[in-house]
Amino acid sequence: MTFPSPNFGDRRGGATPSLVVLHYTAISCEAARARLCDPEAEVSAHWLISQTGEAEALVDERHRAWHAGAGGWAGLDDVNSHSIGIELANDGTQPFAEPQMAALERLLAAIMARWNIPAHRVIGHSDMAPSRKSDPGRHFDWRRLALQGLSVWPEPAAEAPLAASLTAFGYPDAPDDVRLIAFRLRFRPWACGPEDATDRALAAGLVARSPV
């Protein structure tokens, strides 16, 4: 195993990983690798997974990679210090390849076991930075991960105020319409229009399944 990216530092405050953040590269795997390992770019991730299923370690998981940027989750505002970042080679406009998803499942299971990370702490970049990010995007199959215990998927519950449910699940402060877009991007990717009863029931179901 090699760690070719120089773009990392110490996790602040003695933090250890308690989150996994999933991204898409938006560029080819080769271009992404070059950028994530370029000291002038000042970005990185712990892992990069190609469309054909090769998982490459770029930064040691014990270190703080520079993948999350500004945002927050469940009261944490330095997500980089508390997370492991995984980049998936995908441009955001197409489904994720089967070999890539299978490789992600193997990697996630190992990471979650290594660091004792629960399923509800596997999130997307768009979850923790809803005002500025959309990855891993509407084509990513979150339900598939949830069926294997590698993420969460809600069952409808009794309706509750949407904003309160999203905050309880972990979404950071942002305008209500922005958080609605982020929530739907993950759990109702083809929904549109104002919030509705389905949004409120699903968000309430998330809280019931996902202690922060």
pLDDT single digits (tens) 129-150: 999 999 999 999 999 999 999 9
Q: How confident is the model at residue 211 (pLDDT cuts 50, 70, 90)?
A: low
- Domain ranges, residue 96: 8-147
Is 142 in the same domain as 166? no
Domain with 111 in it: what CATH number?
3.40.80.10
Same domain, 41 and 108: yes
pLDDT at 208: 81
Q: What pLDDT is recorded for position 14?
A: 93
Total domains in the fold of the chain: 2
pLDDT digits (tens, 9 = 90+) for 39-59: 999 999 999 999 999 999 999
Q: Does 173 share its domain with 98?
A: no
Residues 128 and 45 in one domain: yes
89 & 181 share domain: no
Same domain, 30 and 111: yes
Assigned domain for 74 exists: yes
In a domain, 157, yes or no: no
Contacts with 183 (C-beta within 8 Å, 6 or more apart), sequence order: 162, 166, 171, 199, 203
Q: Per residue in 151-188, pLDDT tens?
A: 999 999 999 999 999 999 999 999 999 999 999 999 99
Whether residues 168 and 69 share a domain: the answer is: no
| Residue 1, pLDDT above cutoff 70 | no
pLDDT tens for each residue of 48-103: 999 999 999 999 999 999 999 999 999 999 999 999 999 999 999 999 999 999 99
Residues 29 and 90 in one domain: yes
Residue found under tokens 């989750």: 73
Half-sphere exposure of residue 57, counting CA atoms within 13 Å on the CB side? 10
Section 14-42 average pLDDT: 97
What confidence category does residue 34 fall into, taking pLDDT thresholds of 50, 70 and 90?
very high
Domain check: are 98 and 143 in the same one?
Answer: yes
Contact of 79 with 21, CB cutoff 8 Å: yes
Q: What is the pLDDT of residues 192-201, one digit of tens each?
A: 999 999 999 9
Read off the pLDDT of each residue in 102-107 and give the average, rounded to a whole number: 98
Place of tokens 């996630």: 108
Which of 115, 147, 179 delimits the end of a domain? 147
In a domain, 22, yes or no: yes
- What is residue 212's predicted lDDT score, i.e. its pLDDT? 54
pLDDT for 2 = 74
Any domain includes 2: no
Main-chain phi, psi angles of 53, to 5 degrees: 100, 10
Residue 189 domain flag: yes
Q: Which helix (H) or strand (E) holds 84?
A: strand 83-88
